[in-house]
Chain A
């Protein structure tokens, strides 16, 4: 038991399940408000986006802390993000469109924010499908190239959000700002900055 509790993966799994648990608890207790379906759509969409940003913060965090082992948790974070994206998409297919194929097809083609969200979701599928170690080994360098799609997916996620809000762009711009920061930290200047910070904080040799 003690060993289980000391495994960070266990804690990450529990943490990643919290948004789902919250939805279930609120749902059972009638706490989803006047428009529960909208609540679920927004909640699962928000957590998908948060997941993408968390994944993208692993590399900068590694540079900041020098802890190479952080990468080990990235696969699980990615799969949970995909899980919330699936919940988000299924909510849309079922509770928003009631599996009406014509209406869904029309929506995907005609509504730019749906087109963009759908593209992001479709692009997530090959990443989830190739997330195993076996696939990593099999694809070699091409795996890295493929998984760079995550940058595009995150950008599409932000555009999806910007295009769906009625007027108040504050929230999508905040998420967008975080994304710009995380992408910027991958540029040579950003990497140098992170190294410099690390050099100041962490005494040499540790």
Chain B
């Protein structure tokens, strides 16, 4: 992992957006920096509005970032249709305000968070993560958010909390894809508690320094960079702490193809295609897929002694 520092802005300062290729974005970024002392100020809700007070983080990559346009027009988000361009076309009907996220189950402090309060729960940081889709393509995405562990610590899970379940909004009026039964709605995903507590596990609210577009899972989504993309639940309305391993949407749809763990693993094939290589969006040749999507150093210890072919 490469830690890049800009020369003219002290590293303690807010994320320098110098890497943004888009000049307009760059200028917007400078004005946000000027206003950046308003740390914690409530950002505008709309997609594309600049988030203020974003800190840099150690999570940076030498890899070139995937252009904003590709990240926001090539999506798997079946709630808005199964085509890659469907989410960008249809997600306009999603209303991200008002929005609440319910924390429930085996916790000492269950709570219904209003999204505005949740956005101020912890300082927002920019983290550039690789994203590997189970279909064999990948991106490099500058998310904005904070570690899920910040939220979990405040909820104080009890001894019964072994797993965390994430539930996406279920409202066919706002999510036209839910009128078709391709998956069991609502979309449910899950992590083991220790995976959920891992510092890499991110609750994301922004992209490229701006409010998350609807098609990318606004207003708040999970990002688990060492797992296939579908594990990172979008547009979350509920986070439940449970004792039993959750039955996720994809496990219910095709249990022999999608396991609970779904760690990126070039050695474990999908029954119908290989996972050894991936096409990085924007690149011509395929590249080798890395174990745990390149995050093995940080996360391999979570799975010590486990047969990853069995627990795929």
Which positions in A face B, CB cutoff 8 Å? 33-35, 37-38, 95-96, 98, 107, 111-113, 163-164, 166-168, 170
The answer for the CA separation of A19 and B72 in the assembled complex, in Å, is 27
The answer for the CA separation of A112 and B269 in the assembled complex, in Å, is 14
Cβ 8 A contact of A168, one of B69, B182, B274, B282: B182
Contacts of B285 in A (CB 8 A): 98
Interface size class of B (residues with CB under 8 A): 20 to 34
* Residue B4 lies at the interface, judged by CB distance under 8 Å to chain A: no
The answer for the CA separation of A112 and B285 in the assembled complex, in Å, is 24
Majority DSSP secondary structure for residues of B touching A: loop
Which positions in B face A, CB cutoff 8 Å? 69-70, 73-74, 78, 82, 84-85, 135, 137, 180, 182-183, 253-254, 272-274, 279, 281-282, 284-286
Contacts of B253 in A (CB 8 A): 167
Known contacts: A98-B286, A167-B183. The answer to whether A111 contacts B272 by CB under 8 A is yes
- Given A33-B84, A35-B74; 12 other pairs, CB 8 A cutoff: A34-B69, A34-B73, A34-B74, A34-B281, A34-B282, A38-B137, A38-B279, A111-B272, A111-B273, A111-B274, A167-B183, A168-B180
The answer for the CA separation of A144 and B166 in the assembled complex, in Å, is 59
Q: Say yes or no: B85 contacts A33, CB within 8 Å.
A: yes
The answer for the CA separation of A164 and B136 in the assembled complex, in Å, is 13
A114 nearest CB neighbor, chain B only: B273
Contacts of A166 in B (CB 8 A): 135
Contacts of A96 in B (CB 8 A): 286
Known contacts: A166-B135, A167-B253. The answer to whether A35 contacts B272 by CB under 8 A is no
Contacts of A111 in B (CB 8 A): 272-274
Q: Say yes or no: B272 contacts A163, CB within 8 Å.
A: yes
> What are 22 A-B pairs at a CB distance below 8 A?
A33-B73, A33-B74, A33-B84, A33-B85, A34-B74, A34-B84, A34-B282, A35-B74, A35-B137, A35-B279, A35-B281, A37-B279, A95-B284, A96-B286, A98-B286, A111-B272, A111-B274, A113-B272, A164-B272, A167-B253, A167-B254, A170-B82
Separation in Å of the B133 CB from the closest CB of chain A?
10
Q: Say yes or no: B183 contacts A112, CB within 8 Å.
A: no
Contacts of B286 in A (CB 8 A): 96, 98
Separation in Å of the A79 CB from the closest CB of chain B?
31
The answer for the CA separation of A98 and B253 in the assembled complex, in Å, is 33
